[in-house]
Amino acid sequence: MRHVVVLGGSIAGLTAARVLSQASVRVTIVEPDGHSGGLRNGVPQRQQLHALLDMGRTQLDRMFPRLTRDLVADGASLASGEEIEMYTAGARKFGVPGNELVGVTRELLEGHVRRRVSAEKHVTTVRGKACGLEFTGPRVSGIRYREPDSGVVRELQADAVVDAMGRSSRLSAWLEEHGWQAPPLERMRIDLGYATAQIRRGEDRRGLKIVHAVPDATASIAELGDTGALAAVENT
């Protein structure tokens, strides 16, 4: 593959572009939303609580060396040991030795990842909304996208296309339009709603950075209580 188009500039799309670029593949990211710093308009959870669990943090550091260090230098909160409290059904869990979590806003996290990927010499970002696939014979050979300001539809040729559009993806419909069977879709209903508020910590709680409480996993749906989490982030 010489050229791959990644649909969507989310963290998933950015990390896909990073992996491809490390193999010297030319990558074009097609992303419809403008952004201020790291905050894109099309991220519904952008104002919600974010925290990198240890494995996620480890994998991002592997993909983007010293990312945790740079996030902390920009104000993100690195927590370990007694700075982390986890509860299940009201009982505190034993800490995991070496476990490190990062409390960070979506804006700071995605901004750092985007700058790293944008600096890759093989990666280009085009602002546009994907609106269809191009085929050559039996294979996908490119995409069509609409420029957000002019409404002009343009084509991009590619050896492969990566779908990172999330819930807004129309990939299945595009495949059906060209005579392919849509992949099976499974939905899992979880009946979960969530809300986030930013509060300022008292000076007496400065040593506590991450708190996470969940109900008893064996309880019935009717008996389940609320799940809550607190995470120190930059400027708090």
* Same domain membership, residue 112 and residue 223: no
**pLDDT at residue number 214:** 84
Domain boundary among 177, 205, 221: 177
Domain span holding position 166: 3-48+108-177
125 with 143, same domain?
yes
* Predicted pLDDT of residue 61: 96
- Looking at 177, 204, 219, the residue that finishes a domain is 177
Query: Which residue in 180, 167, 168 sits closest to 133, CA to CA?
Result: 180
Same domain, 200 and 122: no
- Positions in the chain short of pLDDT 50: none
Helix (DSSP H) and strand (DSSP E) numbers for the chain:
5, 16
Q: Domain check: are 195 and 157 in the same one?
A: no
Query: 99 is written with which tokens?
Result: 């476990």
Q: What's the pLDDT tens digit per position in 169-207? A: 999 999 999 898 888 888 888 777 788 888 888 777 678
Matching residue, tokens 């000076």: 203
Cα pseudo-dihedral 164, 166, 170, 175, rounded to 10: 50
Kindly list the strands in the beta sheet with 228-231, ordered across the sheet, starting from the edge strand earlier in the chain: 91-92, 84-88, 210-214, 228-231
- Mind listing the pLDDT tens digit for each residue in 57-77? 999 999 999 999 999 999 999
Residues 38 and 141 both lie in one domain: yes
Is the pTM higher than 0.85? Answer: yes
Q: Name the domain count of the chain.
A: 2
Residue 97 lies in a domain: yes
Q: Are residues 115 and 173 in the same domain?
A: yes
Same domain membership, residue 210 and residue 96:
yes
Does the residue 65 lie in any domain? no
State the DSSP H helix or E strand holding residue 15, giving kind and residue range, or none if neither: helix 11-22
Share of the chain above pLDDT 90, in %: 58
Distance CA 138, CA 184 (A): 20
Whole-angstrom Cα Rg for the chain? 21
